[in-house]
Amino acid sequence: MTVAKSGSEVDLLIRHGVTIPMVGVKDFSPGLPVDAARGIIFDGAVAIDNGRIIAVGTTDELSAQYTGRRSIDAHHRAVLPGLIDTHHHFLQNFLKGARDDLSFPDWIDQVSAPLITLAVNDYLAGHSELQRQATRLGCIEALKSGITTILNMEWATHPDVIDVYEETGIRAVHTLTLTDIDQWQQGGMLLPMAEAWALSERLAERCRHSVGGRVTFRYGPACENSASAALLAAVRERADATGAGIHIHIAESKVGWDNIQQRFGKTPVAYLNDIGLLGPDVLGAHCIWLTEDDLQILRDTGASVSFTPECHMKLALGVAPVVKMLASGIPVSLGTDTCAVNDNMDMFEAMRTGIFLQRIALADHRVMPAYEALEMATIGGARALGMGGEIGSLEPGKKADVILVNLEGVHLRPINDIVNNLVYAGHASDVETVLVDGRVVVEKGHLCGLDEMAAIAEAEEYAQQRFKQAGIRVSPYWAGAMSAAAC
């Protein structure tokens, strides 16, 4: 690519920020401060042109080299690569505040299954509005939280859902859930495979023509228990033929682990490996119940992992051996998972919760320092999605997915270690400015080009009406709010 020359005019120049490029430790010189070793610049600047990062340096250096058609004064702001959420289900954003007193199987039966069944039935009837509203709601929250790239794993989504990603400007990995075994005795959750394969082709084609190439497609066999060996083999064959990636829940629960062990005499990871599913294009969500042999298999196959600590804790699923994964060289990223088991999309909260969970489980205060968690939320996510050469860090030539985090809040002050303060004290609400492909999509905390409050009200009103029609419980708050709005 062509890089702007000295004195060039660029689309955007961000100046006077604390630039945290997430390029890892580059300089091991004795006595060098850790911030400098990480490439952190306390009066930093980023030059952006044609959707790409042109240069990263000090404000003095870049101000002498470039003139911005637009400039952003980032005083008291941290400038970071956009956050990358590698596991989510936008449909379940309608289930925030759902029951927190259920076992995992009961949670599937009483919380998750009714909404998934409704979405599948709506798709088969030719209706896509439920998924569109949920996706718009999720995109708004994700972008305002600093998430510039998200993997959204969904059941039965009409291709017009891709329009919503384009409308909001987010970068997305749209994953179609595929399942042919009624593991939970909820037959309505299963989209017939002939329909599913046809839909996968339509979605993949739509993603190939997404605006700016910002939406890509993955096959999503639900998990080792709800996808047959034949389906898993077919997914591998199609992934090899098309170049699309694969996303799957792996070893998420002890119930699921026991089932595979009883049926096949293997762990879920060994089972998937023997089928031939695992490879560098596979991103496994959860990966909680792993043996030492499983870790070796994941490393040898090049598979990546999405760690979703808040889901694991809320549903009491177990503790994923993330520290061992990282030590083994397995790429680990971070996800927020569904808002029914989190119940938000705050990646700062996910980072610190992930650290605390690993430390208390191992009774070791040294594991998973803040910078490592921030890596999982940025460049680690990019690598897990096969996008490490394009996003995840602030480096010349990469796509300009950038966030500015306001450091002026009292909860962040005083700042003694910029990374530690962000990870341990930061919140999604501190994100002030968000860029995707160099375009400002969130400014001063508000989404650009979209009336957030109107979109939220529209989504809630539609969901309330649709849930009533389907016999799904509607919150008294929703009912009261809708009644008041109508007066």
The per-residue pLDDT for range 194-219, each reduced to its tens digit, is 999 999 999 999 999 999 999 999 99
- Range scoring the smallest mean pLDDT among 170-184, 235-249, 351-365, 410-424: 170-184
- Range scoring the smallest mean pLDDT among 209-223, 285-299, 468-482: 468-482
Q: For 233-245, give one letter per residue: b (16+ CB within 10 A) or e.
A: ebbbebbeeeebb
Per-residue confidence (pLDDT) for residue 91, from 0 to 100: 94
Residue 184 has pLDDT above 70, yes or no: no
- Range scoring the smallest mean pLDDT among 131-135, 389-393, 470-474: 470-474
pLDDT digits (tens, 9 = 90+) for 388-399: 999 999 999 999
DSSP class per residue in 340-407: TSS----HHHHHHHHHHHHHHHHT-TTSS-HHHHHHHHTHHHHHHTT-TTTSSS--TTSB--EEEEE-
Residue 168 has pLDDT above 50, yes or no: yes
Instruction: Give the HSE-up count for residue 335: Cα atoms under 13 Å, Cβ half-sphere.
Output: 31
Superfamily, domain 8-81+394-447: Urease, subunit C, domain 1 (2.30.40.10)
Considering the chain, what is the average pLDDT of its residues?
A: 93
Residue 298 has pLDDT above 70, yes or no: yes
Per-residue confidence (pLDDT) for residue 72, from 0 to 100: 98
Q: Determine the Cα–Cα distance for residues 429 and 433; give it in Å rounded to an integer.
A: 11
- At 92 the three-state DSSP class reads helix
Tell me the mean pLDDT in the region 35-53. Answer: 93
Contacts of 214 by beta carbon, 8 Å cutoff, 6+ apart = 165, 166, 169, 170, 171, 172, 436, 437
Banded model confidence at residue 31, pLDDT cuts 50, 70, 90:
low
Residue 79 has pLDDT above 90, yes or no: yes
Banded model confidence at residue 482, pLDDT cuts 50, 70, 90:
low
What residues form DSSP beta bridges with 53? 48
Q: Determine the Cα–Cα distance for residues 182 and 440; give it in Å rounded to an integer.
A: 44
The share of the chain scoring above pLDDT 70, in percent, equals 94
Q: Determine the Cα–Cα distance for residues 404 and 422; give it in Å rounded to an integer.
A: 12
Tell me the mean pLDDT in the region 149-155. Answer: 97
Per-residue confidence (pLDDT) for residue 3, from 0 to 100: 46
Tell me the mean pLDDT in the region 176-184. Answer: 87
Element (H, E) at 215: strand 215-221
Tell me the mean pLDDT in the region 133-149. Answer: 97
Instruction: Give 188's DSSP letter.
Output: G
**Which among 217, 140, 60, 216 is positioned nearest to 434, based on CA atoms?**
140
Look-up of token digits 């066999």: 221
Tokens of 29: 């010189």
Per-residue confidence (pLDDT) for residue 1, from 0 to 100: 33
Per-residue confidence (pLDDT) for residue 37, from 0 to 100: 79
Banded model confidence at residue 30, pLDDT cuts 50, 70, 90:
low
Contact (Cβ atoms closer than 8 angstroms) between residue 131 and residue 157: yes
**Which among 83, 102, 96, 90 is positioned nearest to 128, based on CA atoms?**
90
Residue 487 has pLDDT above 50, yes or no: no
Residue 339 has pLDDT above 60, yes or no: yes
pLDDT digits (tens, 9 = 90+) for 253-270: 999 999 999 999 999 999
Residue 7 has pLDDT above 70, yes or no: no
Look-up of token digits 């004290």: 425
Could you check whether 8-81+394-447 and 83-384 share the same CATH topology?
no
| Alpha-carbon separation of residue 232 from 93, 200, 253, 274, 364 (angstroms) | 28, 14, 19, 11, 38
Banded model confidence at residue 2, pLDDT cuts 50, 70, 90:
very low
Superfamily, domain 83-384: Metal-dependent hydrolases (3.20.20.140)
Q: Determine the Cα–Cα distance for residues 105 and 253; give it in Å rounded to an integer.
A: 9
Per-residue confidence (pLDDT) for residue 25, from 0 to 100: 67
Query: What are the residue boundaries of the structural domains of the chain, listed by start?
Result: 8-81+394-447, 83-384, 452-486
Look-up of token digits 């990480």: 38
What residues form DSSP beta bridges with 403? 80, 434
Q: Determine the Cα–Cα distance for residues 174 and 215; give it in Å rounded to an integer.
A: 7
Per-residue confidence (pLDDT) for residue 29, from 0 to 100: 58
Banded model confidence at residue 160, pLDDT cuts 50, 70, 90:
very high
Residue 4 has pLDDT above 50, yes or no: no
pLDDT digits (tens, 9 = 90+) for 427-455: 999 999 999 999 999 999 999 989 999 99
Contacts of 228 by beta carbon, 8 Å cutoff, 6+ apart = 180, 181
- At 42 the three-state DSSP class reads strand
Identity of the amino acid at 335: G
What residues form DSSP beta bridges with 14? 46, 72
pLDDT digits (tens, 9 = 90+) for 107-119: 888 888 899 999 9
- Per the model's pLDDT, the better-predicted residue between 283 and 342 turns out to be 283
Tell me the mean pLDDT in the region 294-306. Answer: 98
Banded model confidence at residue 28, pLDDT cuts 50, 70, 90:
low
Q: Determine the Cα–Cα distance for residues 255 and 301; give it in Å rounded to an integer.
A: 25
